[in-house]
Structure formats: structure tokens, C-alpha cells
Chain A
Amino acid sequence: MTWEQLIGAGVLAAMLRLATPIALAALGGVIAERSGVVNIALEGCMLVGAFFGVVAADRTHSVVVALVVAMAAGVVLAGVHAVAAIHLRSDQIVSGMALNILALGLTSFLDYQFYGSTGTPADLAAVPDVEIAPLAAVPFIGDVIGHQNAIVWLTVVLVVLIQVFLFRTVPGLRLRAVGEHPRAAETVGIAVRRTRYWAVLASGLLAALGGAYLSLSVAHSFTDGMTGGRGFIGLAAMIFGRWTPIGALVASLVFGYGTALSFSLQGASIGDVRVPVQLLSTLPYVLTILAVAGFVGRSRAPAADGIPYETEGH
């Protein structure tokens, strides 16, 4: 086991790449839950974003259009959840889980219909990497952040923006009020249901962006179920990060680091014993539990999280 394997530039760069989709999903979760709606369908939103982003990239050869379409798909799926959760006040967890199953089945079905035996096309419009020449020349740091994908940078920017929005602006305060005390918020004139709708739609958009990152920046293709549970890891990151954007990012980085390690350590030995590769794969998960148990402890969800709201007088 070498330092290079543990904290080399390659590992840290991988950490950023691996953390990005999780962070985006977690960001979506934060916004939705801060407004009081549990959105378990983040996984499904990621998947539809990944798929429809690929379809749009294939049909229009424009990466911008592809990203817009991807995010729109996430918004649509989240919209269904929003209607069920907010308007119809149904059980938010079951609604979310049903939509996840739906998204997986639908994207797999359409994938087979459109790209059946051939697979998605080889030359899809791709989200470019951002080369920062002067930065890339710097010895260690340059290798870590000098060639990251545009969406990686976008994610960091979004984290900062949403953190500021939630905790330093009036609309953000209103959103949080809706999530903590909807009755009181309504009394002072805040439109509870409308705020929650926007929040849930935004969560779908962000998660879908995470999915599009996977299909358009990383894999350059789509395969069924390619999100592999990142939406759920994102939920865990959200809780780990205490329902704040920056916390969610840190949590995602912890997880991303563990995953990166699980690959860089393949082949490493402890003394004479080779660590089995399957056990290495448990690293990110064990690391996360240890991190939360050791450093985070109790984290409290917004008070009205998951509770459907009945407006007065209807």
C-alpha cells in the first residue's frame, strides 16, 4: 500500500468524478426535503435524465439541447411525484418508490425499442472537460482539478449557489419555513404548495443533471439501470450532510473517496495478505458509516418533512 494509492492525485481526481452524480442527487434531495417533501424518486429522475439526455444527444447532436432535455425529463418525473405528494397528499415514500420502478422499466423498455441490439451510438455529443491550462501546470493540484468535466465544476458552483440561496436569501428562508412550519408560513402569506412544487421540480432537475453527467460525460452511452443506486446514496449523503448543500457535497466527497480507494487499492496487500477485491468494494460504505458515527452524529430533518400539508379552508 503506497501513499500514491491512498491520496495520490489520481485518487483525488477520481474522488471528484465519483462524487459529482451523488452530490447532484443529494442537492436535489436537500431542496425538496427542506421544503417538506420527501423525494425518494431521485434515482428515477437520474435515470430518466441519463436516458433522455442520450436520446436527445443522438437526435440533435447538440450537447446543450441534450442537457436541457435531460433536465426536463427529470422535471416531468418529479412533477408526477409532486402532484401525488403535494396535491393528492399520498404517501410520499411509496409514490417515490413506484416512480423509481417506473423509471427503470420505462428507460429499459425504450432503450430496447430505440437501441435494441446495437446499443447507443458511438459518437454521442459529449459534455466537454474543462482544461484550465495555468492550473493544470501546477504539480499536484493541477492533476486533480486541471481536467475535470464541466459538470463537475457546475456542481461545485451549484452547491455554493444553493447554500447561499437557502441560508442567506429571503426566498430561501421562505422555503425552509415551509419545510419546518408550513402552518405558520402560510399564516404570514407564503404559498406553501407552490413553494413545494418548485422545490420538488428543482430536485428532479438536479438529479436528472446527475444522470446526464453519467451518460454524457462519463460513459458516453446508456445502459439499463446505469445509475446503480446513486440516487439512494445521494439521500444518505443528504442526511449525512445535515440537509445542507455544502454538507451534502462533503458527504459525497467522502463517499467518492472511498469508491476511488476501492479501485486504487486493487492489488494492494496488508503484509502478505492480498485484500480481496470484493471486500475493497465495501470501502465507501464502511467509510461513510464510520464518518457519520464518528463526526456527524445526530442530524435532524426539517420538521414538516414528509407530512402532507392541508391548507386552511379547503
Chain B
Amino acid sequence: MPIVSVLFALAVGAIFILASGHDPISAYIDLFRGAFGTPYDITETLIQTIPLILAGLSVAVAFRTGLFNIGAESQLLVGAVAAGAVGARFGFLPGPILFPMVLVAGIGAGAAWAAIAGYLKAARGVNEVITTIMQNYIVVFVIHWLLQNGPMTAPNALGTPASAPIGDGAVLPIIIPNELVPLTRLHAGIFLAILAVVVFWFVLWRTPLGYELRAVGLGPRAAAQAGIDPRSRTVIAMAIAGGFAGLAGMIQVTGVFHRVFDGFSAGYGFDAIAVALLGKNSPIGVVLAALLFGAFARGGSIMQANAGVSAQLVSVIEAIVLFVIAAELIVRIIARRRGPKPLEAIA
């Protein structure tokens, strides 16, 4: 049943591919093989997936507390900048000291930035949607300034707005030796991501704090009557959300770029919203949904290179698949045709 949804979506996409003059079958084969065909491809997909998992957790933990965190994008960037700044400034320090510093900087900066939105909501009732949307833009422009002709601009940046490189001690090493999978770039960030998923699950379902956050999410008034202060929990939840996103940014800097480039990270924060919702705000779900996006990102570029399908068409197909999965279109249409029936039995 669910496979039917996806196949339906791909079929609709095939129409577009045909209309643009290319062969859908070979295009889709490229899509799948690009994402999973060889071990190298799989590692590339994973690299795309890692920040999405973390950003997805960020949005998910906020949703669990009844908050809509549209700001994962800016929290990620803030974490990246902090990690990049600390990693460069103290780059001379050895790994065991430098890396934890960079880690704390990234997570902390993201958490602090998000906590602002949480505080404004708790203290002044400012809807977090407004604050986080605004924060997204503010951060982009501040980073432009920092890296183009501001304090963090690297002197030898050769016209690429970027920061100084981070010290070697802060770099996340590649975890698969070249002999096993040549040219792979898969870095230790994947371990951090898996750890984050475990932390997410543990905090939300195995600690009193997590219980309180979920209670606030399910009903703030009831929670308040049970003695849980929704306002402080709001701030804490946003801080945790920001911490996850900041970690994502830190990983991108220490695992992929090794410095902060201007204009990096296009849209993880937005994709993360869909990732969290598709994954029903649960640990495994977020991972799988992130994988879906990562596969599309990776497979999509192969589809462009080999089948000649344009990048915009790849987006269109991705959107249709997303829409269909989210809308559980076929499932629901068939369910309705069959008359009243517990929808829970399906999926």
C-alpha cells in the first residue's frame, strides 16, 4: 500500500521527465543508483543525511513541546559560525582539548540563539513562528557581514567569503579507510548524529524533563495544573532544539568544510520541518525521513549528470513524492472508498 503511493508519485514525475525529452526509466535508475548503488554512493547519501537528521531532531523536539521551530536553519548557522570561530581561534590546541571546545561552542551557540525565541515566547508571548522566521534572515545577513568584510573574514580567502580554517584538532576524521571505499568523505559526524538520536529518545522518553516537555506539548493548561510551568519548559525546549541544530552546523564545519563559508547550508532548516513531520517527531522516523531527503539530494545530482534531467525537475519529483507520502494520498482515498474504517489499521 505505501509503495503504491510512492510509485504513483514517481509515475507522475515520469510524465514531467518525458515532457522534457528524457527517458524516465533510466532517470529513475540513476536516481536510485546515485543514492544507493555502490558503497561510495551510500556514504555520499549519508553525508547529505547527517545534518538533516540533526535538524530534524531539532524541529521534532520543539514540536513535541507544542512549538513550531522554523528556525533550525539559523540555529544551525549560528552553531557553525561559533564552531568555526573557536576552531580557528584556538586551532593550535591539541584535539582532546580543542574538539570538546568546538563541540560545546556549536551546541551552546545554537541553543542560546534558539533560547531567545523561547524566552520571547515565554515572557512576552511572541509567537515562535515570527521570531524564528525573522532570526533566519538576521543570521544570514550577519554572517554575510562577518565573512565578507567583517571580523571573521580570512585574510587569504581569495575572494571566497570564508573564515580561517579550523585547527586540525577540531576536524572530524573520515571514518572509512580509502582502501575500503575509495574517495569516501564519510566523517565521524555520523557517530555524533546517531548519538544525538539516542539522546533525543532518552531525554524525551526516559527523563522527567522529557515527560514534562511532552506534557506541555499535549496540553499546556493541563500541564500547568499538574505543576509544570509551560513557560520555563518552552525556553528549555527551544534551547534543546537549538542545540541539536547547532550541532548540525558544527558537524558541517568540522566534518565537511573545515571552515565557515559564506552562503553555506541552503535549506536544511526547511527540509527539517518536513523530515520531522514525516517522521512523526519520533527518533527512527526522523532518521528514515532524513534518509529519504538525503537519497534524493544525492541521487538527484546523478540523475542530472547522467540522465540530463534538470535540477528543477528533480525538485518537482521530490516534491510530489513528499506530498504523496505526507498526504498518504492513495491510502486515504482508498480508505474513504471503503467507508468508515479505523484508519489506524492502515500504515
> Contact residues of A with B, CB < 8 Å?
84, 88-91, 93-95, 97-99, 101-102, 104-106, 108-109, 112-113, 224, 229, 232-233, 235-236, 239-240, 276, 278-279, 281-282, 285-286, 288-289, 292-293, 296-299, 314
In the bound complex, residues from chain B placing their C-beta under 8 Å from that of A98 are: 274, 319-320, 322-323, 326
Contact A97 B273 (CB under 8 A): yes
Contact A292 B319 (CB under 8 A): no
Distance in angstroms from A197 CB to nearest chain B CB is: 16
Does chain A have a CB within 8 A of B332? yes
Residue from A109, A279, A298 in contact with B20 in the complex, judged by beta carbons closer than 8 Å:
A109
**Roughly how many angstroms separate A236 CA and B129 CA in the complex, as a whole number?**
7
In the bound complex, residues from chain A placing their C-beta under 8 Å from that of B138 are: 282, 285-286
**Roughly how many angstroms separate A171 CA and B270 CA in the complex, as a whole number?**
36
Within B305-340, the residues touching A (CB, 8 Å) are 310, 312-316, 318-320, 322-323, 326-329, 332-333, 336, 340
**Roughly how many angstroms separate A236 CA and B137 CA in the complex, as a whole number?**
13
Within B133-149, the residues touching A (CB, 8 Å) are 133-135, 137-138, 141-142, 144-145, 148-149
Contact B312 A109 (CB under 8 A): yes
Number of interface residues of B (CB under 8 A): 47
Distance in angstroms from A309 CB to nearest chain B CB is: 14
**Can you list the 9 inter-chain pairs with the closest CB atoms, starting with the nearest?**
A298-B125, A105-B315, A102-B319, A94-B326, A98-B323, A278-B145, A90-B327, A109-B312, A101-B319
Does chain A have a CB within 8 A of B37? no
Contact A109 B130 (CB under 8 A): no
Contact B340 A314 (CB under 8 A): yes
Does chain A have a CB within 8 A of B232? no
> Contact residues of B with A, CB < 8 Å?
16, 20, 70, 120, 124-127, 129-131, 133-135, 137-138, 141-142, 144-145, 148-150, 270, 273-274, 277-278, 310, 312-316, 318-320, 322-323, 326-329, 332-333, 336, 340
**Roughly how many angstroms separate A224 CA and B313 CA in the complex, as a whole number?**
13
In the bound complex, residues from chain A placing their C-beta under 8 Å from that of B124 are: 292-293, 297-298
Closest A residue to B280 by CB, please name it: A91
In the bound complex, residues from chain A placing their C-beta under 8 Å from that of B318 are: 101, 105
Contact B274 A233 (CB under 8 A): no
Contact A93 B277 (CB under 8 A): yes
In the bound complex, residues from chain B placing their C-beta under 8 Å from that of A278 are: 141-142, 144-145, 148, 150
Contact B145 A89 (CB under 8 A): no
In the bound complex, residues from chain A placing their C-beta under 8 Å from that of B313 are: 105, 109
- Given A88-B327, A94-B322, A282-B138, answer yes or no on A105-B125 (Cβ-Cβ < 8 Å): no
In the bound complex, residues from chain B placing their C-beta under 8 Å from that of A94 are: 273-274, 277-278, 322-323, 326-327
Contact A95 B133 (CB under 8 A): no
The contact sample of 6 A-B pairs, CB cut-off 8 A, is: A84-B327, A98-B274, A102-B316, A109-B316, A276-B150, A298-B124
Contact A108 B125 (CB under 8 A): no
In the bound complex, residues from chain B placing their C-beta under 8 Å from that of A102 are: 315-316, 319-320, 323
- Given A276-B150, A314-B340, answer yes or no on A296-B126 (Cβ-Cβ < 8 Å): yes
**Roughly how many angstroms separate A260 CA and B120 CA in the complex, as a whole number?**
26
Contact B145 A279 (CB under 8 A): yes
Closest B residue to A111 by CB, please name it: B312
- Given A88-B333, A278-B144, answer yes or no on A113-B20 (Cβ-Cβ < 8 Å): yes
**Roughly how many angstroms separate A202 CA and B273 CA in the complex, as a whole number?**
25
